[in-house]
């Protein structure tokens, strides 16, 4: 039995996340466990989820991502971030989003997550910093 769909395609926060995630080279969207996931071969982000230990209380607008290892400790200390259920054990973090979120920061988090899993050919297509 497939998982029920746990998101709304018209969600304006999801629309913004999609715009950022799918602009990354070779990024695709796939529905898994009833939620949008963003991949470049492997999954680098998921929209929606729950906090570890609170699987019965999903957060519809959470962004789950793989943090840059150099930034993970600092992000984990920031009260805006949380350890998500299921994928938190593998180093992922979550951030609750809304339309007032800092979208430049969201783009940076998605970029860092993408760089953790993407093949070198896709990473080579990313813009270089000046």
Task: Give the containing element (helix H, strand E) for 14.
Answer: helix 12-21
Residue with tokens 């593998």: 90
Q: pLDDT tens digits for 68-100?
A: 999 999 999 999 999 999 999 999 999 999 999
Q: Is 79 exposed, middle or buried (0-12, 13-18, 19+ CB in 10 A)?
A: exposed
Q: Which residue has better confidence, 56 or 94?
A: 94
Q: Is the pLDDT of residue 130 over 60?
A: no
Q: What is the pLDDT of residues 93-120, one digit of tens each?
A: 999 999 999 999 999 999 999 999 999 9
Phi/psi for 85 (5° steps) reads -65, 150
Q: Which two tokens stand for residue 110?
A: 């998605």
CA dist., res. 69 & res. 72, Å (int): 5
Least confident of 51-55, 94-98, 121-125: 51-55
Domain ranges of the chain: 12-119
Range with the lowest mean pLDDT among 7-11, 62-66, 75-79, 124-128? 124-128
> Please, which residues bridge with residue 24 across strands?
none
Distance CA 4, CA 93 (A): 23
pLDDT tens track for 2-18: 889 999 999 999 999 99
At the topology level of CATH, where does 12-119 sit? 3.90.1150
């Amino acid at each position: 039995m497939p998982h029920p769909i746990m998101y709304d395609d018209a969600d304006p926060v999801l629309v913004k996340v999609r715009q950022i995630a799918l602009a990354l080279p070779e990024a695709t969207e796939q529905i898994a466990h009833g939620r949008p996931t963003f991949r470049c071969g492997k999954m680098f982000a998921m929209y929606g989820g729950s906090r570890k230990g609170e699987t019965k209380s999903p957060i519809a607008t959470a962004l789950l991502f793989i943090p840059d290892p150099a930034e993970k400790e600092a992000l984990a200390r920031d009260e805006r971030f949380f350890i998500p259920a299921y994928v938190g054990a593998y180093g992922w973090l979550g951030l609750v989003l809304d339309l007032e979120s800092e979208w430049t920061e969201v783009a940076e988090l998605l970029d860092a997550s993408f760089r953790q899993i993407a093949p070198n050919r896709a990473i080579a297509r990313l813009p270089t910093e000046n």
